[in-house]
Structure 1
């Protein structure tokens, strides 16, 4: 039995589709089962509730061999530990008590690179907590997601601009959520791996925000530019949208760390190179969202 958390999210829903397509038994933890497609509800077991709830994870992990773990966003959390390690603590106890053998988790690049990287530092601490339970553990170590730009589709459409706290000429790896899910599915379906390891998913190329603006312009057939915002303005915009102080500060520290080379240290080997180019992603994901 494979347990999948966040089955309605950008990554989780693709993981569900991949596991079910392979004919593997799946159990999903979801707050509201009505958000799942009918076909998914018909072909998977469903446990309603939060995967931060001890009773929910004890029920969901019973008899399960493998778990896909993703800490859900919590924009109003009072600390980053509330989002990551503290949220994962009940699950870690259930991994032990229910005999879970393997965990595949969504994580981040940057272990040992910079000491204060906000959300990334907290994510890596959660990885250590999970691995410390004794399960076989694989962390999908990821750069920035291409799919994050979908949150700026309206600005790209109406103003021809997208915003970032990272400089326009700083080349960095990015990856598509579809490729993250594909990497997770391969691991979830493979019962042979053991121990602890990292699986980078780096995309096929490093691009700057200016490179992305050029590609968006070509795909959309209209001018698009990148506008850098100061970290102070970036933080203020998060606070104005109701994000907590701790969460906003964590996002600032993460952006500064990426600007200072956090994502640069992992070599793009053939194994770490995921297939979806930014141009392909723009054609298939961004363009429909902008033109909707």
Structure 2
């Protein structure tokens, strides 16, 4: 009997919030993924023997092309490095992925994109993802753009505020938006990577289990962590000052702030919430399992 050939799958950002789950799920599925990252030493010890790790700078198109030769499918996440011009970084990464899929004949790509990329412009840092989407659309490959909601793990950036009991945001407090667990995004990504049932250009929204307002988020976090947590809306200028104080470059500050006006001005996602776009993990479950411990550790 002829030995069955296994699908060869490459994964970028394999230690990230989503990527680490993608790698683990592929391993459990019997796949030995090729993982691309700057420092293979950052991989968890239990994973290192289950993957083929390749040192790669995703901004260096030549190394990305070399690292993805003979690959059948690619999970691509545009990297960010906190530079002065994040949109230029997205453009450099886009050159890398487009060259890789075209020069290596990679037939299937799953891109981690974002809700808001459908606007194409006017959504700050998300505009960089929109350009990657457009470039891959023109590359003639089967591609799924995962339009992900707001990551639960973004709350990790506000641990000090959570410990102090007040979240500060610039979106309207009663405006609902999609919140999603990174693990659920990974599950959708792996399903797409392994499934033969789709082709062409696809958009797959990943909306989490429910649209939540910031007021609802504060109530959920209060119940899950046992700490009274409130939320207040502040001005863009106040948030700008906070981000600069946190060490962000001016260019990155403006790219981050630019996401919010783009999503609060009568924005409606291209894909509505359906059984296809809804994923199971609730913010309450995630906060109880993970966030409350991180808050307590720094108290």
TM-score with structure 2 length normalisation?
A: 0.92
* Of 82, 89, 95, the match for 2:95: 89
Q: Which residue of 1 aligns with 2:14?
A: 7
C-alpha contact (below 8 Å) 2:14/2:22 kept by paired residues = yes
C-alpha contact (below 8 Å) 1:106/1:140 kept by paired residues = yes
Distance verdict in 2 for CA 1:87–1:162, change over 3 Å:
same
Equivalences for residues 37-116 of structure 1 within 5 A? 37-80=44-87, 82-113=88-119, 115-116=121-122
> What's the offset of the Cα at 1:263?
5.0
> What's the offset of the Cα at 1:175?
0.8
CA distance in 2, matches of 1:91, 1:264: 26
* Of 19, 31, 36, the match for 1:29: 36
Provide structure 2 residue ranges, at least 5 long, that are not aligned to the other structure.
1-7
Asked if 1:234 corresponds to 2:239, the answer is: yes
The secondary structure found in structure 1 opposite 2:218 is: helix
> What's the offset of the Cα at 1:79?
4.4
C-alpha contact (below 8 Å) 1:173/1:263 kept by paired residues = no
Q: Provide Cα deviations, 1:253-282, integer angstroms capped at 9, x if missing partner.
A: 211122224355531111111111111121
Distance verdict in 2 for CA 1:139–1:64, change over 3 Å:
same
CA distance in 2, matches of 1:79, 1:122: 8
The secondary structure found in structure 1 opposite 2:115 is: coil
CA distance in 2, matches of 1:263, 1:119: 18
C-alpha contact (below 8 Å) 1:172/1:263 kept by paired residues = no
Q: Provide Cα deviations, 1:67-117, integer angstroms capped at 9, x if missing partner.
A: 00001122114241x231222202211211111111101111235547411
Provide structure 1 residue ranges, at least 5 long, that are not aligned to the other structure.
none
Q: Provide Cα deviations, 1:230-289, integer angstroms capped at 9, x if missing partner.
A: 111212222233322222112112111222243555311111111111111211121121
The secondary structure found in structure 2 opposite 1:266 is: coil
CA distance in 2, matches of 1:114, 1:101: 24
Asked if 1:136 corresponds to 2:145, the answer is: no
CA distance in 1, matches of 2:228, 2:86: 39
TM-score with structure 1 length normalisation?
A: 0.94
Alignment RMSD (CA, Å): 1.6
> What's the offset of the Cα at 1:25?
2.5
Distance verdict in 2 for CA 1:285–1:222, change over 3 Å:
same
Aligned residues: 290
